[in-house]
Structure 1
Amino acid sequence: MKIKIVNTSSHQLPNYETSASAGMDLRANIDEPVILKPLERRIVPTGIFIELPMGFEAQVRPRSGLAAKKGISVLNAPGTIDADYRGEVGVILVNLSNQDFVIENGERIAQMIIAKHERAEWTEVDSLSDTERGSGGFGSTGVK
C-alpha cells in the first residue's frame, strides 16, 4: 500500500525495523531535548504529515522497550489518526516512572500501525441474542 507523506523533519521516514514488524517507528522532531518528569504528559511532534486512504487509520502505540525499561507510554494508546486528518502526527507521551526521562531529537518514541477499519451501521432492536457468557464482563470468565 502506498501512502502519501510529507516529512518536515531531518529524520528518515517511519520504517519497519524487521521484515515481520507490524509497526513503523516514529521519531521525535524537537529542537532541543525535552525532559518528561514523572507522571507528566506531553505531545511530542514527529515532523510528518500523512494522507491515508478512506477505510484506513494509523494507530500510534507505545514502544515495548520504552514501556518496559523506562515506564514511557502513549497516553491514549492506541491513538488514532483518521483518514481525513492532515495535521502533524504528534505522540502523547506519558512518564509512568518515578524518574525524569529525556527525549532526544530523532529518538524513536512510538510505533505506528496502518489498519483497515469498517464503518458500523446501527440496527436498533429491543433485545440481543443470548450467549453462554451473557452480560458477564470485567473478569467474569476467571483468571485460570
Structure 2
Amino acid sequence: MIKNGYQLTLIANIEKSISINFLERKLISTGIFIQFPKTIKYHFFLKKKFIEAICVIHITKNKKKTVLCQEIKMIITNVFFETMKIRSNEKLAVLNIFQGPQIKWKKCSILNTSMRGCNSFGSTGI
C-alpha cells in the first residue's frame, strides 16, 4: 500500500508464452476487472522492457456482465529486431490507485502582487 492509495501488480493472464516478432503487436490480458469513479486517479508504471517497446494501456468495457466493469489490457508493439517473449504470469506493470484532490475554484478579479526579480519569468533575482 502506498500513502493514501493502493498498489496493484499487473501480470500477464495468459495460458502459455506469447512471442512478438519485429513490428508485430499483441493484446495481453491482465485479468483485472475494475471500475474507476471520477474521483479516483491512477498511474501505470511499466516494466523496463515494455518502456523500451511501444506499450499502450487499453481499458475495455466488459459487455458480458450487467455491472459496468472494465478490463485492463496492454497492447504491446515490438520495435526490436529480436523476438520479444511474454511468459504466463509475467509481471507487466504496477498500477497505483489514489484519491484525487478535490479542488474548489474561487473567482477573483485582482491577483496579489509579489516581489520578483526582473531576470525572467518567476525570477527570484538571484
Give the TM-score of the pair, scaled to structure 2: 0.56
User: CA 1:73–1:108 in 2, change beyond 3 Å: closer, same or farther?
Assistant: farther
Q: Aligned partners of 1:80, 1:61: CA distance in 2, in Å?
A: 15
- SS of 2:16's equivalent in the other structure is coil
1:88 maps to which of 71, 80, 88: 71
User: CA 1:38–1:47 in 2, change beyond 3 Å: closer, same or farther?
Assistant: same
Aligned-residue sequence identity (percent) comes to 21
- SS of 1:98's equivalent in the other structure is coil
1:103 maps to which of 86, 91, 114: 86
Q: Aligned partners of 1:111, 1:73: CA distance in 2, in Å?
A: 17
Corresponding position: 1:38 with 2:59: no
Give the TM-score of the pair, scaled to structure 1: 0.50
Matched pairs, number? 99
Max Rg structure: 2
- Judging by fraction of residues, say which structure has more strand: 2
Please state how far the C-alpha of 1:109 moved relative to its aligned partner. 1.4
Corresponding position: 1:72 with 2:56: no
| Runs (5+) with no aligned partner, structure 1 | 1-15, 121-130, 134-144
User: CA 1:48–1:75 in 2, change beyond 3 Å: closer, same or farther?
Assistant: closer
Q: 1:62, 1:73 within 8 Å by CA — same for their partners in 2?
A: no
Please state how far the C-alpha of 1:118 moved relative to its aligned partner. 6.5
Q: Aligned partners of 2:28, 2:95: CA distance in 1, in Å?
A: 14
String of CA shifts for 1:72-105, please: whole Å, max 9, x gaps: 34235xx679xxx612211122222111111111
| Runs (5+) with no aligned partner, structure 2 | 61-67, 104-119
